[in-house]
Amino acid sequence: MRRQIVLLHRVAGLAMALFLVIAGLTGSLLVWYEEIDAAINPGWLRVAVPADGRPALPPLQLRAAVLEHYPQAASNYLMLHGQPGRAAIFWLQAPPPAVDTVFVDPYTGAVLGARRHGAIGDGLHNLAPFIYELHQSLALGRTGVLLLGIVALLWTIDCFAGAWLTFPAPARHPAQAGWRAWLRRWRPAWRVRQPASTYQRHYDLHRAGGLWPWALLFVFAWSSVAFNLPAVYQPVMDALFARQPEPRTLAPRRAAAQPQPGLDWPAALARARHLMAGESHRHGFTVIEESSLRYDPRSASFHYRVRSDLDVNEKRGNTSLVFDANDGRQLGSFRPTGAAAGDTVTSWLLTLHLAHRWGLPYRLAVTGLGLVIAMLSLTGVYLWWKKRRAREQRR
């Protein structure tokens, strides 16, 4: 059995190595996405806060300014919460200009800049989005998303195979029996020997480096399956936990898309706030801040999100509701925690993956974990190469 698991670990590790190196290095950078993007594009993302304390313009007014600048475009996603000194960001759908992301001064409504998300060929100003595309899909679109989803599934399985291989061999003498003796024999797997040869050092780094952060490695592996391969993630989670219907399934697609909602955006936002107030009272949660309002032409529905005390994500709200874009009728709601165990687990997994919890210390930890993931892949390839070379020399 051990030989079979060794083979599984070896084959999976070699198949995943390049992908995990890319995912680990880009992931360690994406923890600082906003800082990197603002450093490269300060004129687009940073704005001066008025000295007179003037508040930012309402989001709907900023949206109107963007659509006036791009009259043939559609903007179906409205961010409702901004940060002082940061530009407001709008995403355009099918605009005539070759841009899909627009940066706006929230205090004046002036358009500061625009770009095609992830198009690194357009210039360095797209570096941060390009890193994101590499991490999510290898910049290969849906094919890359599927490929990385398969890698994530292999990684999840290999987390258990790799941990099992660190366990000591079965006891051969009565003195080695019992869990205390087993732990003593397992203890060397957690150490990096000093002094040691190059091979021993790589071996210890690979073994101990996979054991110490094992729980977090599993969290990132399985949450990657959630992001990239939901067709596998959801059935597994449904077999283990109860969950609510996903917000995107609450409004079925129409035979033909409806480009414009029946309710205008101010009326839709007022309706969303009214419905969320009812949800808050009914389920006993507190709304902390608004997050976004999105119109889906395929189902002619609005999706409204807030951050509430049910959210574990400290940056993006996922407490949401869906209502008909023509008559305002509520179609459903979603609570990230407290309503169904499966949704609570998923909320924690995705939040930890995004490093949107526990502030700077956890962001630093995730940065380090990305480097550890790359290190584990590289040391694994090195160990395989050394063993293969030794076998060839013996022949």
Residue of 392, 369, 375 whose CA lies nearest to 201: 375
Interval 71-110: pLDDT, tens: 989 999 999 999 999 999 999 987 666 899 999 999 999 9
Give residues with Cβ within 8 angstroms of 172, minimum separation 6.
none
What's CA 300's distance to the chain center, in Å?
Answer: 27
- The pLDDT, as a whole number, for residue 63 is 97
- Identify the H or E element spanning 90: strand 88-91
- Closest by Cα among 54, 35, 53 to 45: 35
Average pLDDT, the chain: 95
Q: What is the pLDDT of residue 96?
A: 64
Q: Which residue has the higher pLDDT, 252 or 43?
A: 43
Instruction: Quote the radius of gyration of the chain (alpha carbons, Å).
Output: 25
What tokens appear for 345 in the block?
Answer: 């687990």
DSSP 58: P
Are the beta carbons of 247 and 320 closer than 8 angstroms? yes
Determine the pLDDT at residue 359: 96
- pLDDT of res. 97: 64
Each residue's pLDDT tens digit, 202-231: 999 999 999 999 999 999 999 999 999 999
When pLDDT is cut at 50, 70 and 90, the band that residue 272 belongs to is very high
Sorted by sequence, the CB contacts under 8 Å of residue 361 that are 6+ apart come out as none
* Average pLDDT estimate for 243-262: 92
What's the confidence (pLDDT) of residue 178?
Answer: 83
Q: Where are the alpha helices (DSSP H) in 31-141?
A: 33-40, 42-45, 59-69, 127-137
d(Cα 238, Cα 76) in Å, to the nearest integer?
31
Q: In angstroms, what CA-CA distances link 325 with 248, 263, 301, 304, 358?
A: 14, 6, 4, 11, 36
**Can you read off the two tokens belonging to residue 327?**
């008559």
- The tens digit of pLDDT for each residue in 306-352 reads 999 999 999 999 999 999 999 999 999 999 999 999 999 999 999 99
Q: Is 175 a residue whose pLDDT tops 90?
A: no
**DSSP letter string, 138-205:** TTSTHHHHHHHHHHHHHHHHHHHHHHHHTSPPPP-SGGG-SHHHHHHHHGGGG---SS--HHHHHHHH
For the record, the structure tokens of 11 come out as 């084959």
**35 contacts 27 by C-beta, under 8 angstroms:** no
Query: Which pLDDT does position 289 carry in this prediction?
Result: 97
Residue percentage of the chain with pLDDT more than 70? 99
**Exposed, middle or buried: residue 144 (CB in 10 Å: 0-12, 13-18, 19+)?**
middle
Q: Under 8 Å CB-to-CB from 228, ≥6 apart: which residues?
A: 136, 137, 145, 146, 148, 149, 152
Q: How many CB atoms lie within 10 A of CB 393?
A: 7
Long-range pairs of 132-136 with CB within 8 A, sequence gap ≥ 24 = 132/26, 132/30, 132/33, 134/22, 134/26, 135/22, 135/23, 135/26, 135/27, 135/30, 136/227, 136/228
Give the tens place of pLDDT for each residue, 119-174: 999 999 999 999 999 999 999 999 999 999 999 999 999 999 999 999 998 877 77
Q: Report pLDDT for 198.
A: 95
Between 177 and 61, the higher pLDDT residue: 61
What type of residue sits at position 6?
V
Q: What is the arithmetic mean of pLDDT over 364-374?
A: 98
pLDDT of residue 249: 86
Q: Residue 46: beta bridge partners? A: 86
> Most distant CA pair in the chain: distance in Å?
82
Calpha distance 181→327 (Å, rounded) = 69
CA atoms within 13 A on the CB side of 325: 26
**Number of neighbouring beta carbons within 10 Å of residue 103:** 22
Position 94 scores a pLDDT of 75
Q: Which helix (H) or strand (E) holds 13?
A: helix 2-30
